Amino acid sequence: MPPVIEFTQVSKRYALGCGVRSLRSVLTTFPRRLLHQPIEPPPVHWALRDLSFTVEAGTSLGLLGHNGAGKTTVLKLLSGITTPTSGRVSLSGRVASLIELGAGFHPEMTGRENIYMNALIMGMTRSEVEQRFESIVDFAEIEQYLDSPVKHYSSGMYVRLAFAIAAHLEPDILLVDEVLAVGDVRFRTKCYRRMVDLRRRGATIVFVSHNIVQVRDTCERSLLLWQGNLLAEGRTDDVITAYLQKLQGLDQSPPADAASAPPPLSTEESEPVSIQSVRFYNRAGHIIDHVVSGEPLSIQIDYQAQRPVQAPVVHVDFYHDGMLYSGCSSEYDAFPLQPLRSRGGIVLELDSLHLPPGIYSLSIVIGEGHSHRILAIEHHTYMVEVTRRPNSRGEIRLPHRWRQSDHQLANEDLIL
């Protein structure tokens, strides 16, 4: 099957300053033009240089790199916002993008009007928009503001509406930049859950974030861009390692062009293991969606494996307000799980969940062996609420006990 995304020797150049065609440039260079004197061209910046890669259908690809590395330029080329200076960009299928906050919204139009306008621009027919309209509004949670101009919307409302439209387009390719960082943790959880659902339906996701934990848990493949060049490509764990080494200054010589870049890291395809459901149980064995801080909690992960996994490892991470708060790993705990065969379940038992009150989103990762090959990922897909313990002092109850000595103090022990 041909790839759904293909970059072939793609370069992108931007002129710095006003540019030769701007009114300001024309006015400042007018005297030199009258005297037929040479005019120096403006300086240029190469956002990308000879970038080549392919992405297969159903893959989630992460883009890592410093500010200005070229990540957003890649998304803009994929979405058609800009065109390459040289090279070729090939796409197959319907594309939806979340690149710039509020891009494509008309500030004077209402939310209702912008839904129709954006959906039609993205390629939906009017009948498709009407069929999915209520679902879009419910997902965006803006029903009471639906007939207000979007110029009155907050940044979070912009993101909710934009993501709802893009997700209900049911795209073959979804492009996501840092915009999800604007939403609250509960809505981010909905977004990640929707992205998981789109991937299950065969959609390809290209994800840009400076949060390497999110990239690790969302993408099985990643690219590392550095000064517009492709520095590393392959499994996300390997690319993150290369990125951290680069940031730590272990490699002081960024390539001048793609020809001098090191060969890409080897790529491994993700294995067909899926997480079917995740359920939370209390001490009595009842399914719950909230737990009192300090109480026991059991998490059951049901999976389906298309082939035996001989040395599985499972990671369960708790996030709060976008930050990794705590986590458990069968590998770090040196607990050898039995091979995964067909259908089954894995249970994580927490004797006491000592977390501050709040809503936590969970990321579940199933991997294989010490190679850390990722088989299944569901990032920020499940939520549990931790509530405050009655009569608690502070946010966290520390395990403790009281003790009192029975012996009586002698007279000489008394301090007056």
Residue type, 123: G
pLDDT at 84: 93
Which residue do the tokens 């608690």 mark? 392
Residue 268 lies in a domain: no
Residue 144 lies in a domain: no
Distance of CA 35 to the CA centre of its chain: 56
Handedness of CA 69, 70, 72, 74 (dihedral sign): negative
Q: What angle do CA 375, 380, 385 make, to 5 degrees?
A: 130
Residues 327 and 371 in one domain: yes
Residue type, 411: N
Residue 247 lies in a domain: yes
**175, β-bridge pairs:** 97, 206
210: its two tokens: 């400076």
Q: 98 vs 76, 163, 363, 367, CA distance in Å?
A: 10, 7, 22, 29
* Burial class of residue 41 in the structure, from the number of CB atoms within 10 Å of its CB (0-12 exposed, 13-18 middle, 19+ buried): exposed
pLDDT at 259: 39
- Which stretch of DSSP H or E encloses residue 121? helix 111-122
- Quick check: 122 and 96 in contact, CB under 8 A? yes
* Burial class of residue 212 in the structure, from the number of CB atoms within 10 Å of its CB (0-12 exposed, 13-18 middle, 19+ buried): middle
Residues 14 and 83 in one domain: yes
238 Cβ neighbours under 8 A, 6+ residues apart: 232, 265
**350, β-bridge pairs:** 297
pLDDT at 270: 43
pLDDT at 381: 75
Q: What is the CATH number of the domain that holds 228?
A: 3.40.50.300
pLDDT at 74: 93
Q: What is the CATH number of the domain that holds 357?
A: 2.70.50.60
Calpha distance 2→260 (Å, rounded):
28
28: its two tokens: 């400042």
Residues 85 and 199 in one domain: yes
pLDDT tens-digit profile of 1-31?
A: 689 999 999 999 887 755 555 566 666 666 7
- Quick check: 42 and 18 in contact, CB under 8 A? yes
Task: Give, as one character, the DSSP assignment of residue 271.
Answer: P
Residue 400 lies in a domain: no
Closest by Cα among 12, 374, 43, 44 to 225? 12
135: its two tokens: 């679902």
Residues 241 and 203 in one domain: yes
Domain count, the chain: 2
Residues 243 and 324 in one domain: no
Q: What angle do CA 139, 142, 144 make, to 5 degrees?
A: 135
Final residue of a domain: which of 260, 291, 315?
Answer: 260
**Which residue numbers in the chain have pLDDT < 70?**
1, 17-30, 32-33, 37, 39-42, 100-103, 179-185, 213, 248-272, 322, 370-372, 407-416
Residues 55 and 32 in one domain: yes
Residues 288 and 374 in one domain: yes
Calpha distance 177→197 (Å, rounded):
18
Residues 304 and 228 in one domain: no
Which residue do the tokens 């058609």 mark? 80
Residues 349 and 244 in one domain: no
Residue 10 lies in a domain: yes
pLDDT at 302: 93
Task: Give, as one character, the DSSP assignment of residue 357.
Answer: S
Closest by Cα among 102, 95, 99 to 170? 95
Residues 180 and 75 in one domain: yes
Q: Residue 181: which domain range?
A: 5-93+172-260
Residue 322 lies in a domain: yes
- Quick check: 156 and 184 in contact, CB under 8 A? yes
Residue 187 lies in a domain: yes
Calpha distance 19→104 (Å, rounded):
25
Residue 63 lies in a domain: yes
pTM: predicted TM-score of the whole model, two decimal places: 0.60
pLDDT at 251: 42
Residues 278 and 380 in one domain: yes
Residues 281 and 352 in one domain: yes
Strand, helix or coil for residue 191: helix
pLDDT at 258: 38
